[in-house]
Each structure stands twice: as structure tokens, then as C-alpha cells.
Amino acid sequence: MKVSIIAIETLCGRITPAGFGSKRDRVFLETARENTDASLIGAGSLREGDPEFRIRDGSIPPKRLRAIITNSGDLPEDRSIFKKGPSPIIFCPETVFTRLEERFSKKAHVVALSKTIDGMLDLKEAFSFLERHGAGSLLIEGGGMLNYYALKQGVVHELLITLSPKLIGSVREKCMVYGEGPLGSPFMDSELKSFKVLLETGEIFLKYRIKQV
């Protein structure tokens, strides 16, 4: 399965607070959804936002898979993803499976996964599940922690990054990729495949291939 991470970041590498992208960046994201069969987000992004994974015409495609990943099982039940569109998939560990199945019985499909040695869920297992349900491509829509573990587990093929002409500088804001320790030795290498400069908004749309995948 082809796996892409998509994100918009400031010139200082931050992805929060939400909502700093232009309308053109929104179209870029919605088009990327149209070009993929599934989206995955970390539980943090659901706790802090209310993503629905709409495409350019404003619809939620009925056959496109939408998935959330959590270790803690701490998911807000009142989010739109549980009310609109096809039922999402929740990936979780065995320890919270029964609790989540009870809470989300009619609102989501709960799937238990095993953990890797870093204590996080095995994303290869998650992606096999998505493949078995028809997904040939996946868009990881953040946040920074999920991005980190996906890169660390070696399952990402490309990065679709919008560089926004903004700076925030606060250590309280989330980075595009963050976690324990470096991803490589110390760097993980990527190769620039394409770029598009949008002078009207000051944004640059970048596509990188991750080298070791």
C-alpha cells in the first residue's frame, strides 16, 4: 500500500494552531483525499479538532476509509466522524478493545492491534487491515506524533508538505514530526520529487520521497 503523510507547517516546522493554511492548501488536501482510498489520524488530532475528511465537492465519500489510532482509548464520542459518513475504524490495543467496542458499538468499527517494542501500535498491521478492506493507498493526516511513529516504523513512502510563510516560535506548538530519539543516524533522508510555488499565498507545496522505503 502506498502511504503518504500530508501536513502544513510554518517556516519554524510547527503544525499548530490549526487553520493557518490558505483555501488553495485546503484544495490540495481535499485533492489528496480524492487520490487515496483511506485517511488515518492520531487520537490527539481528534481530541483537539473535528475532522470529517471531506473532498472538494464538500462530500464525505461513502467508500473511502477513515481511521483513528489510539493507545489510551481516550476518544471524544461527540465528534462528527461518528455521526456523518461511513463508520470510521478505530485502531487500539487489546487492553481497551472491549471498552471501546461498548462505547462505539454502532458508531465505529473497533480493531485491536499488537504493539511494537516502542509500546505503540504496529502500523503495518493497521495497514494490512486497511488493504484487506480495499485500500491501495493511505493518507496519514497527522498529527506530529503519529507522523513520527509512521516514519519510525518505516511505513511511509512520501511526504506532502505545504510550507506556509508563517512563524510562531512557541515550544508549546506541535512539530510536524516529533517523538523519542532521532529517526535515522541521526537523520532520515528524503528526496525532493516536486515543488510548486504559490506566490499569491506565499505557500510552497513540496513532495518528498522517503529514501529507505
Q: Which residues bind ligand NAP (CB under 6 A)?
A: 7-8, 15-16, 18, 41-45, 48-49, 69-72, 74, 120-121, 123, 141-146, 149, 174
Which residue is at the shortest CB distance from ligand NAP?
A: 143
Q: Is the Cβ of residue 146 or residue 163 nearer to ligand NAP in the bound state?
A: 146
The total of other beta-carbon atoms located within 10 Å of residue 205's CB is 17
Nearest CA to 141 out of 1, 7, 2 is that of 7
Q: Is the Cβ of residue 29 or residue 65 nearer to ligand NAP in the bound state?
A: 29
Shortest separation between residue 203's beta carbon and ligand NAP, angstroms = 12
Grid coordinates representing 114 are 499488537
Shortest separation between residue 143's beta carbon and ligand NAP, angstroms = 2
Shortest separation between residue 153's beta carbon and ligand NAP, angstroms = 7
Work out whether the CA dihedral 148, 152, 154, 158 comes out positive or negative.
Answer: positive
CA 38 to chain centre: 10
**CB environment 11-45: b (16+ within 10 A), e (fewer):** eebbbbeeebbbeebeebbbebbeebbbbbbbbbb
Q: Is the Cβ of residue 74 or residue 189 nearer to ligand NAP in the bound state?
A: 74
Q: Is the Cβ of residue 63 or residue 195 nearer to ligand NAP in the bound state?
A: 195
Q: Is the Cβ of residue 125 or residue 131 nearer to ligand NAP in the bound state?
A: 125
Shortest separation between residue 187's beta carbon and ligand NAP, angstroms = 20
Shortest separation between residue 134's beta carbon and ligand NAP, angstroms = 22
Residue that has been written with the C-alpha cell 471501546 in this structure: 100
Cis before residue 19, ω within 30 degrees of 0?
Answer: no
Cis before residue 182, ω within 30 degrees of 0?
Answer: no
Alpha-carbon span 96 to 103, nearest angstrom? 11
Residue that has been written with the C-alpha cell 510536524 in this structure: 176
Q: Is the Cβ of residue 62 or residue 102 nearer to ligand NAP in the bound state?
A: 102
Shortest separation between residue 201's beta carbon and ligand NAP, angstroms = 15
